[in-house]
Structure 1
Amino acid sequence: MTTPDLSPGFLHATRTSYDAMAPAYVDFARGELAAKPLERALLSTFAELVATGGGGLPVADVGCGTGRVTEHLYGLGRGLDVFGIDLSPQMVAVARQEHPGLRFEEGSMLALDLPDASLGGLLAWYSTIHVPDEELPRAFAEFHRVLAPGGYVQLGFQVGDEPLRLTEAWGLDVSLVFHRRQPERIAELLRDAGLEVVSRVWRERETDGPFPERAPQGFVLARRPIVSGGCEDGDISATD
């Protein structure tokens, strides 16, 4: 894949921050999914839907970080061809080291280096959280473009109305904005991008255990409508 265009300022700040955090982040996040049964169930549902309706096309974990969720999807045994994409070259390097049997590439969700309609599934697991509100429609338009008709996209994100800004993590200087959003707003933007919302899940934050949270968590599953008679499902021209 080509080196991502970092013209929007937030991309450079996000990449630089995760490059710095990569060695510490891999140890921090290790074992997180094992402590979150709801998330595992949602990922399993996503994998099953893609396996049965994705036409055998690959699944991209966009914003894959250390590759832990990429590996989890692959290990579910659904026969999915899963690969990861991340903005941070250091995160990609860590993912390749941690999961040598899987493919990881550098890239940006605002301009994915993938052909149109080439994916059966796309996972954006806490990766759109760093995308500003004004750029989110562009990201969702890319998701629609690269998904084949019938393909699914699963998002995970923090729920809220105000962003969280971090300037330090593990003693390192970072510049990260975590955009918290309401599931209803995410669903609305996905529909605007031409995607069909399948489900919305919301849960309270966990305050104890090994991975305490600052906010509730949201999960939205959507699908690119299947083309029928030259039009996608839901296109008014299909029923004229």
Structure 2
Amino acid sequence: MTLSPSDRLDVRGVRRAYDTVAEDYAAYFPDTSAEAPLDRAMLDAFAAAVTSSGDGRVLDAGCGAGRISRYLTERGCLVQGVDLSSSMVAMARRDHPDLAFTVGSLTELPYPDDEFVGVLLWYSIIHTPPAGLARIFAEATRVLRPTGHLLVGFQAGEGTRDVSGAYRQFGHEVVLERHLYTPDQIASHLEAAGLREVGRLVRRAGREKDDQAFLLARAG
């Protein structure tokens, strides 16, 4: 299938945006204090699932500056982080030198098949247009072991949001938008990739503008 320009992820644009804001992003989000207790509960459920059903090897796909990698590590997971932005990976390596981080694309993960017992997509799909989601979930499933678990977090809804303004307060002029998806839309993609939904949580917007959704799925 050939994608039109509007359907493709603007890889260069997203990479450029996060390379630009990486240092301020790492300073503003050093840990999981930005997550609500319900959000962290889903992370805890994911960590419990992967540590009880295997060796706890987890891929934090779209790891950013590594704060969620640290959170999962503290819960017994063996985490490998990967991110499109080399500057975000540099921040992750600086702030979490004991953990492993790699530069790479979610559409071409630099790992062999069946490498991980868990894959985390924590707000990692939000810059991908609808037509690009299938590739990301296919890659996540490829590196996931049979009966492994995947957790995806995202803003719930429909349409797109221009998030460039969020970075202007730090003096950055970037072009960046995010896509909103309904939980049922993401569940359909998970099913198409061969994953079975285990559970979901939809948290109504608090200080955010949109609801937040989390789906936990299992392979096999």
TM-score (norm 1): 0.84
Counterpart Cα distance in 2 of 1:128 and 1:185: 13
* Contact 2:9 2:128 (C-alpha < 8 Å) held by counterparts: no
One-letter code of the match for 2:181? R
Superposed CA deviations along residues 177-206 of structure 1, whole A, max 9, x for unmatched, are 211110111001110111111111101111
* Contact 2:32 2:67 (C-alpha < 8 Å) held by counterparts: no
Superposed CA deviations along residues 20-48 of structure 1, whole A, max 9, x for unmatched, are 00011112113443652111111111011
One-letter code of the match for 2:155? Q
Counterpart Cα distance in 2 of 1:202 and 1:57: 26
Where does residue 66 of structure 1 map in the other structure? 65
Bigger-Rg structure (1/2): 1
Where does residue 219 of structure 1 map in the other structure? 214
SS in 1 for 2:88: helix
* Contact 1:197 1:223 (C-alpha < 8 Å) held by counterparts: yes
One-letter code of the match for 1:187? A
Moved more, 65-74 or 25-34: 25-34
* Contact 1:159 1:218 (C-alpha < 8 Å) held by counterparts: yes
Runs (5+) with no aligned partner, structure 1: 1-7, 207-211, 226-240
- Shift >4 Å, 4+ stretches: none
Runs (5+) with no aligned partner, structure 2: 1-7
- 5 Å-filtered alignment, 1:60-139, equals 60-76=59-75, 78=76, 80-139=77-136
Give me the identity figure in percent: 40
Counterpart Cα distance in 1 of 2:87 and 2:210: 27
Residues 148/21 of structure 1: CA separation in 2 closer, same or farther (3 Å cut): same
One-letter code of the match for 1:71? R
Q: What root-mean-square deviation, in Å, do the aligned CA atoms of Structure 1 and Structure 2 show?
A: 1.4
Size of the alignment, in residue pairs?
210
Counterpart Cα distance in 1 of 2:193 and 2:31: 34
* Contact 1:158 1:217 (C-alpha < 8 Å) held by counterparts: yes
- 5 Å-filtered alignment, 1:160-179, equals 160-168=157-165, 169=167, 170-179=170-179
* Contact 1:33 1:40 (C-alpha < 8 Å) held by counterparts: no
SS in 2 for 1:108: coil
Q: CA deviation at 1:167?
A: 3.3
Where does residue 56 of structure 1 map in the other structure? 55
One-letter code of the match for 2:78? D
TM-score (norm 2): 0.91
Counterpart Cα distance in 2 of 1:175 and 1:94: 21
* Contact 1:112 1:142 (C-alpha < 8 Å) held by counterparts: yes
